[in-house]
Amino acid sequence: MDSHTAPERDMDTYLDAVHDVVFECCPKVLASDIGMSVKSLYRRVAEDDPMPMRLIDVVGIFWNVDREHQLRLIAPFLDHLGMVAVPRCEKGEVSRGDVFASVLDAQQGQGAMAALIQAAIADGEVDEEEAAQLEAQHKAIEQQMSTLMGQLQAMRKPLKVVSR
């Protein structure tokens, strides 16, 4: 994508995530939790219904599901922004072993990326499947590196100020 073209927005990507989460989290209970009738919730997540899902509905669903489903709801938005999210590491909760394991994960990710690149360019072209694999591996590497940097930040010592 060059700097003159806006990223394409595919609303189905966002709505598919909402639809999947709603039906995995018991729609009857979820409807009650967000103050909506079950019939209304079913209509909102239906693909062909003229009454679309509203942002306030998505936010209500987000706050009333578990963390795993929350991550699945925000994943399409992060993808749209070209971002990855990793859990924050709290100071004192990271060990040297955690960091070393993250370094190894990142190195394995880089190796997998190199293998994908080698296979993709072997014939002088990158097809759609290869491009998708490369993009997925790139995202995995970004996440691994962000995790590693978060761990290192959690191990950072505060700056000591020496007074005169």
Q: Please report whether residue 161 resides in a domain.
A: no
Quick one: 38 and 72 in the same domain?
yes
Quick one: 77 and 16 in the same domain?
yes
Quick one: 65 and 124 in the same domain?
no
Q: Please report whether residue 2 resides in a domain.
A: no
Quick one: 100 and 50 in the same domain?
no
Q: Which of these three, 81, 110, 141, is where a domain ends? A: 81
Identify the band that residue 98 occupies on the pLDDT scale cut at 50, 70 and 90. Answer: confident
Quick one: 64 and 35 in the same domain?
yes
How many domains are contained in the chain? 2
**Cα 148 to Cα 154: distance, rounded to the nearest angstrom:** 10
b/e 27-63 (16+ beta carbons within 10 angstroms → b): eeebbeebebeeeebbbbbeeeeeeebeeebbebbee
Residue 71 C-beta-side C-alpha neighbours within 13 Å:
6
What pLDDT shows up at residue 6?
A: 53
Quick one: 73 and 100 in the same domain?
no
Identify the band that residue 155 occupies on the pLDDT scale cut at 50, 70 and 90. Answer: confident
Q: Where are the alpha helices (DSSP H) in the chain?
A: 11-24, 27-33, 38-45, 55-63, 67-81, 96-121, 128-154
Quick one: 15 and 68 in the same domain?
yes
Please check the confidence at residue 141 and state whether its pLDDT lies above 90: yes
Q: Please report whether residue 3 resides in a domain.
A: no
Q: Please report whether residue 65 resides in a domain.
A: yes
Q: Please report whether residue 5 resides in a domain.
A: no
Q: Range of 36's domain?
A: 11-81
Q: Please report whether residue 127 resides in a domain.
A: yes
User: Residues near 32 by Cβ (< 8 Å), separated by ≥ 6?
Assistant: 38
Please check the confidence at residue 163 and state whether its pLDDT lies above 80: no
Model confidence, pTM: 0.58
Say if CB 70 and CB 17 are below 8 A apart: no
Quick one: 61 and 103 in the same domain?
no
Tens digits of per-residue pLDDT, 100-131?
999 999 999 999 999 999 999 998 899 999 99
Q: Please report whether residue 6 resides in a domain.
A: no
**Cα 8 to Cα 18: distance, rounded to the nearest angstrom:** 19
Tens digits of per-residue pLDDT, 33-83?
888 888 888 888 887 777 777 888 888 999 999 988 998 899 888 888 888
